[in-house]
Amino acid sequence: MLQAAYVEQIYPFDQTWMYNNTSITFATHVVSHVGGKPIETLIEDNLLAPLGMNASSFNYDATPPAKNYAWGHPPIYGEGSISDLKPYYIPLIRESAASGALRSTVADMLKYARFQLDGKDASGKQLLSKEALDYAHAPAVEASTGDFTGLTWFVHDYDGVTSPSHGGNWPGTRSFLQLIPDRDFAVVVLVHSDRGVEAYKKVANAMVKAFTKIESNSPVAAGVDPSVLDPFVGVFKGNSQNIEIRKEDDKYVFVQFSALTKGADPAPANVANTAEGYFIITEGPNKGALGELLKDSSGELNYVRFNHRIFIRGEGAVDEFDLSGSVFDE
């Protein structure tokens, strides 16, 4: 914790936004200190128990906690076969307690979703006021590709209708919770596969349309404009994932390489530009995903924001990583 004061910031303070769990980890220590108990105990006593989330718990065991536990599965792309779909289990870590170490079920997460809509516990007692919930769900800071963030929520605006959402992932699993408070609506999707992100956005969009009549209005491809896409060409490095945009003849190709999946990543995919100046992936598992260029402190376009993370233009190949000192350092 103390060493973090000496870590160089990726981006100059107060100039842009990037999703990260580090801030939640710091908040965890503050809340635990003030509350006088481990964060797990505080969450269990003040949230899980009152909401009746009896199937949700923190568990850091090296083995799955129950026989009916939904094991994770690695991604399979391209030439992969169903025989490669071996279930695997990676224990959660205490440092991620408040940012992703809770095991849960669809039924329990719907209880949490109900709480986010009305602020009440299982007995009907008001735990959070409507004003507090509205504050948390409201667009507060401009985030990536036209969306916003609220208080730990990603916020999308459907032509005036606010919809906070948040996804979660751990190797082998993906989860997603979306709310539309104005329509008293919520959808939860849990997938025990690294490729679950491809399913849950489609499922959520279909559910939103079916139950609220609201349709997504995300940017779409407007063509392939070199004046827009040429500045994106290059390798951009992240913490555990790198991306690259290559120019191949008259096409632009998106490549990603993750240290978590050890190279089991989607095949290179064509990209185009949108009218808003973003790049958009036009095929494959990431179809529809958006990215944008950001200026560094010198004013040069050396940062790409993709999937709420910032990647820095760097040297070397897209599959080269420096993981020393990280949780992925083997």
Cβ-based neighbours of 325, under 8 Å, separated by 6 or more? none
Measured CA to CA, the distance from residue 195 to residue 189 in angstroms comes to: 13
Tokens 């667009």 — which residue? 139
Q: Where are the domains of the chain?
A: 2-212, 221-313
The amino acid present at 238, given as its one-letter code, is G
Residue 31 has pLDDT above 90, yes or no: yes
Measured CA to CA, the distance from residue 149 to residue 137 in angstroms comes to: 8
Largest CA distance in the chain: 64
Structure tokens at 288: 């529809």
Residue 136 has pLDDT above 90, yes or no: yes
Residue 5's CB: how many other CB atoms inside 10 A? 6
For residue 187, name the pLDDT band (cuts at 50, 70, 90): very high
Cα 21 to chain center, whole Å? Answer: 10
pLDDT value of position 296: 82
pLDDT value of position 77: 76
Measured CA to CA, the distance from residue 317 to residue 315 in angstroms comes to: 7
pLDDT per position as a tens digit, 65-100:
677 788 888 877 776 677 777 888 888 888 888 888
Q: Render the burial of 67-82: b for 16+ CB within 10 Å, e for the rest.
A: eeebebbbbbeeeeee
Three-state SS sequence of 131-145:
HHHHHHHCCCEECCC
Measured CA to CA, the distance from residue 17 to residue 14 in angstroms comes to: 8
pTM, whole model, 2 decimals?
Answer: 0.83
The CATH architecture to which 221-313 belongs is Beta Barrel (2.40)
* 299 three-state secondary structure: coil
Most confident region among 23-32, 56-65, 78-87 by mean pLDDT: 23-32
Residue 33's CB: how many other CB atoms inside 10 A? 9
For residue 115, name the pLDDT band (cuts at 50, 70, 90): very high
Q: Whole-number mean pLDDT of the chain? A: 86
- What's the Rg (C-alpha) of the chain? 21
Distances from the Cα of 104 to the Cαs of 27, 33, 46, 90, in angstroms?
22, 26, 16, 16
Q: Render the burial of 312-328: b for 16+ CB within 10 Å, e for the rest.
A: bbbeeebeebeeeeeee
Domain spanning 2-212: CATH 3.40.190.10: no
The one-character DSSP state at 219 is -
The amino acid present at 266, given as its one-letter code, is P
Measured CA to CA, the distance from residue 123 to residue 174 in angstroms comes to: 30
Residue 128 has pLDDT above 80, yes or no: yes
Whether 252 and 224 have beta carbons less than 8 Å apart is answered as yes
pLDDT value of position 280: 95
Whether 254 and 286 have beta carbons less than 8 Å apart is answered as yes
- Which residues on neighbouring strands pair with residue 271, listed in sequence order? 252, 281
Measured CA to CA, the distance from residue 214 to residue 209 in angstroms comes to: 5
